[in-house]
Amino acid sequence: MTVSTNHRGYRVVVTGIGALTPLGLDMATTWQNLVAGRSGIDYITLFDASNLEVRIAGEVKGFDPANYIDRKNVRRMDRFAQLAVAAAYQAVQNARLRIDSTNQEDIGVFIGSGIGGLTTLFEQTRVLLEKGPDRVSPFLVPMMIADIAAAQVSIALGLKGPNLCVTSACSSGSDAIGAAYEYIKHGHAQVMLAGGAEAVINPIGVAAFAALKALSTRNDSPQQASRPFDRDRDGFILAEGATVLVLERMEHALSRGATIIGEIIGYGATGDAFHITQPLETGEGAAKAMTLAMRDAGIRPEEVDYINAHGTSTPLNDAMETKAIKTAFGEHAYRVPVSSTKSMTGHLIGCAGALEPAICLMTIQHGIIPPTINYENPDPECDLDYVPNVARPAKVNTALTNSFGFGGHNSVLILRRFTEEKP
């Protein structure tokens, strides 16, 4: 396969989106609830959380994996992989992408997950302790390992192109999309399914994040608990879900008459080299990632119309991200709308960086910026335009989305309204 003589490479477009989130079982429902400012956070129902410090989360309600996977295989897949396969089926259907023997070797899968099959690991550890090693499931390893979501998507859809998992904590989904974008851009694939999946709402997952003092303990008001950039924020809300995008080389999408949702034009990634959980307070690494993404896109800060923030609702992250945006955008930081949709979805960990680019595409397509809900008390350290509480009509041509992960991972994607003529 030859690479484009244009040093910037092939153009990469998005033709399909699949999503299962705390706000809906598809992207359309998720988007409707985002625009309405509804919260998907509620009391945990997946297990009895009454003895835990944190009893609230963002669950994917009403998900039946048997709608996408035969029941025998459902029992052999952790929930995060089930969600990934469902999102992949949705994305392919949304893209109207036909997969058969003529093209299956040209379609790859990059699915990120920060943690993988933690629920299966927890359940089988309990089996080991209560019933002994002979009762441990032979499917433990292939249900637990983080790469299995990408593998199961490949198997379910018959995709024989490049297949891998990206694990970079809360940046995993963003990095998976970024890697797929680079793969197509440099001529290594025609089509990629890329995204993220996570399902860690189980006793050990909730207890572990709570032990880090990373989670909100606002158990008495679940829907008000996630409050990014608000002075009274006290931690993020653990959530689950999966989002998969269909990425294509522009020429390939046009040749098959696909509807193009938007274009990915930039990707930047850095490492803080600072701490295992805390972000670098100055935001230097995050700012550099934004600058690299804008350089890759060939745009100036003034051309960005909307920033979908990482915006976790933790004291350290939100203050750091505000500083980073100011560093990367200068005076434009005070003019560009910034919102955190985690105020409604909670933090989907490895899926967050996949869902939020999808939200940016919907923002561009529909001309509405989703709000940051629960923004009631301004924080002097966080003094940007966070689109408080109510969605805002706006023409958005170019959107930037941030993802920052434990370990100092910083990943940024830039998406643009598609026009066949290159801007």
5-51: per-residue pLDDT in tens? Answer: 334 799 999 999 999 999 999 999 999 999 999 999 999 999 999 99
pLDDT of residue 319: 98
Q: What is the pTM of this model?
A: 0.96
- Residue 281: what are its φ and ψ, rounded to 5°? -55, -35
Start-to-end CA span in the chain (Å):
26
CA distance 320 to 354: 21
pLDDT at 110 over 80: yes
Mean pLDDT of 353-367: 98
| Pairing state between β 191-198 and 107-112 | parallel
- The catalytic position among 7, 188, 275, 347 is 347
Structural contact between residues 19 and 198, judged by C-beta atoms closer than 8 angstroms: no
Calpha distance 266→293 (Å, rounded): 5
Q: Which token pair is 421?
A: 């003529």
Please check the confidence at residue 298 and state whether its pLDDT lies above 80. yes
Structural domains in the chain?
12-255 (3.40.47.10), 268-412 (3.40.47.10)
Active-site residue among 165, 170, 351, 360? 170
Q: What is the pLDDT of residue 421?
A: 79
Q: So what's the pLDDT on residue 420?
A: 86
Taking only the tens place, the pLDDT of each residue in 40-63 is 999 999 999 999 999 999 999 999
Strands (E), 33-89: 42-43, 56-57
Alpha helix ranges (H) inside 140-171: 140-144, 148-157
Transcribe 97-108 into DSSP letters. Answer: ---STTTGGGEE
Q: Is 347 a catalytic residue?
A: yes
What is the chain's mean pLDDT, rounded? 96
Catalytic residue among 7, 165, 252, 310: 310
DSSP H helical segments within 330-372, as ranges? 342-345, 352-366
- Confidence class for position 391, pLDDT limits 50, 70, 90: very high
Closest residue by Cα to residue 363 from 394, 330, 323, 332: 394
Query: What number is the average pLDDT over the span 358-369?
Result: 98
Q: Which pLDDT belongs to residue 2?
A: 32
DSSP 418: -
Distance from chain centroid for Cα 28: 16
Q: Quote the radius of gyration of the chain (alpha carbons, Å).
A: 20
Beta bridge partners of 194: 110, 245
Best CA proximity match to 262, nearest among 85, 419, 48, 43: 419
At how many degrees (to 10) do helices 352-366 and 172-185 cross?
A: 70
Encode burial over 364-397: b for 16+ CB neighbours within 10 A, e otherwise. beeebbbbbbbbeeebeebebbbbbeebbeeebe
| Residue 225: alpha-carbon gap to chain centroid | 20
- Annotated active-site residue 366? The verdict is no
The confidence score (pLDDT) of residue 423 equals 63
CA distances from 290 to 11, 99, 193, 263, 363 (A): 20, 35, 24, 17, 19
Query: Which pLDDT score, from 0 to 100, does residue 338 have?
Result: 98
Three-state SS for 176? helix
> pLDDT, tens digit, for every residue of 54-91?
999 999 999 999 999 999 999 999 999 999 999 999 99
| Helix-helix angle 79-95:148-157, to 10 degrees | 40
